[in-house]
Chains A and B, each alone.
Chain A
């Protein structure tokens, strides 16, 4: 992770400080505050808000996984929905065919995801950039087809119903319990990603993203680290898909369209490439966006005329917002935040001195 020196005069003097995730007391306090708010949410919020928060947690897991792959390792993927579908269908199939419990299906989903990660990643050893995006796109269709085929062959043409998982002998049906489970999963994913990124793997991925030839010259196994990025990202995504299946209690191939892949890519673009915080912000933005649109449409005059077109209005505004971010602010929300920071750090000046301290 690229760390920038701070204006406050805090400089790192040893490697331990450079590697620490939360170096300053203010950051630790802020994190504690955020955690308290997140944990207190079920006590205060309405069921609707808790459902939203749970959806955000699910999206955060997927977005973090994609950020690891695209934002850090530099490998483009347009097949994220396929991986989510793979996780969800692993749960659905194991549950329907073998009545497998929660603690079997989740690792199985992760294993299927990891396996698919190798499959998705193999083209990356030969092709780059656009071609890689295209091959992951193709695999997305393939997974969706296999899922649809299973539904059709086994007679679940409307979807597979999955019972809520049993934890300690009790079925988890309560929305608040679900929120806490998903929050824990999201936090665990965040910790895993942050730790992977500050370790050898993170440095290897950064080198591969910057320049593959140089990375190879430095003695980094480019092929194996690329595959590792794909495997970890896909396994995490498949787990997110599995949790999604349990949370919704329902698996259908309809839910995993190309649009979902685009949404996940949008999350990391809108959030800001190359930043875990960006992935979280993007997941929050993209998940809440349709509800914001719905609310603002409801406030408009003649809202009933638009009611049937809600999805279309959503897609239109979503596409427009994505274009605006790509054209006007390629660094995403996190870029806006950094710019704001810089503005206040430099105030009353507008630019950094030429030849002065780097960044």
Chain B
């Protein structure tokens, strides 16, 4: 039973992070390998706002979320926008470089120690007993709820709203979308903001649950296989991929070897790339875009 709960929590973590990869890839065909570092930065921003608004958790979290959204938009406006028209790989490598930069920067500013943003906010972490003898911590439960809420609102946003439709159009055919009067730069910036927003939610909740350190960027990177397994351009795929990767990881760690934790997502990734490179629910023709 505990195993099932662990799977659900890990699925939620991976899914919440993976949707950031999917959003950016689906809209702008850029693979953001700095996503892990960006969500780590958001968690550190929470640490900072927590010291500013000590004792006001809602204000601190809202401020940190706002800052994260601004960071996402700035990354697009100052970096990726300049790479329009370059080969896709240049954009990916730029995000890789950005990740290296952010890792260094967070250590310089906040040191490499483990931090606990929940402490200055005065928030405690309870563990609930679930039927069947399993336990789940308050923040993990919140994380699962957040993931569900985020996915529901993303689906609604992309399907129902005007901006969501613009985003889908930009993803399908940027040239036609631009000719219909859609401001591509605004759409891409919006995608980056949304992606860092969801990443920030994940980063903050993980930081509140289990503390904050340099390992968080690795969690972000491990969620990437989840996005790819499901198909990089499919939100539903990200959910499914997260479930597959998370269950494989939890089960194998429990029954085989805890050291495997670092590699299982990538093992699953290799298998999927060999058999069905476009992912379980992805679109096949995406593959030829180099």
Residues of chain A having any CB pair with chain B under 8 Å: 76, 78, 122-123, 126-131, 133-135, 137-139, 141-142, 145, 148-149, 152, 258-259, 262, 265-266, 269, 309, 311-320, 322-323, 326-327, 330
Contact = CB atoms under 8 A, between A and B. Distances in A.
Nearest to A131: B277
Contacts, number: 129
List 4 tightest A-B contacts by C-beta distance, closest first: A319-B101, A315-B104, A316-B104, A129-B290
A145 B89 contact: no
Contact of B93 (A127, A258, A317, A326): A326
Interface in B85-110: 86, 88-90, 92-94, 96-105, 107-108
Contacts of A127: 273, 277, 287
Contacts of B97: 262, 266, 319-320, 322-323, 326
Contacts of B93: 265, 269, 322, 326
B108 A313 contact: yes
Given A130-B88, A130-B92, A322-B93, 8 more contacts: A131-B287, A134-B269, A138-B267, A259-B100, A312-B103, A312-B112, A316-B101, A319-B97
Interface in B205-244: 221, 224-225, 228
A143 to B, nearest CB: 10
Given A265-B96, A266-B97, A327-B82, A138 B266 contact: yes
A131 B105 CA distance: 29
B263 interface: yes
Contacts of B104: 311-319
A127 B99 CA distance: 25
A312 to B, nearest CB: 4
Nearest to A312: B107
Nearest to B25: A130
A316 B259 contact: no
Interface of B: 31, 79, 82-83, 86, 88-90, 92-94, 96-105, 107-108, 112, 221, 224-225, 228, 259-260, 262-263, 266-267, 269-270, 273-274, 277, 287-290
B107 A309 contact: yes
B167 to A, nearest CB: 20
Nearest to B109: A312
Nearest to B105: A316
Contact of B274 (A76, A122, A129, A145): A122
Contacts of A152: 259
B262 A128 contact: no
B277 A322 contact: no
Given A313-B108, A315-B101, A145 B259 contact: yes
A141 B108 contact: no
Contacts of A141: 262-263, 266
A319 B273 contact: no
A149 B100 CA distance: 26
A262 B100 contact: yes
Contacts of A78: 96
A314 B101 CA distance: 9
B289 A138 contact: no
Contacts of B262: 141, 145
B174 to A, nearest CB: 17
Contacts of A148: 259
Contact of B100 (A135, A309, A322, A326): A322
Contact of A319 (B88, B99, B274): B99
Contacts of B290: 128-130
Most buried by B among A127, A142, A326: A326
B92 A319 contact: no
Contacts of A316: 100-101, 104-105, 108
B274 A123 contact: yes
Given A128-B290, A315-B104, A142 B270 contact: yes
A266 B97 CA distance: 9
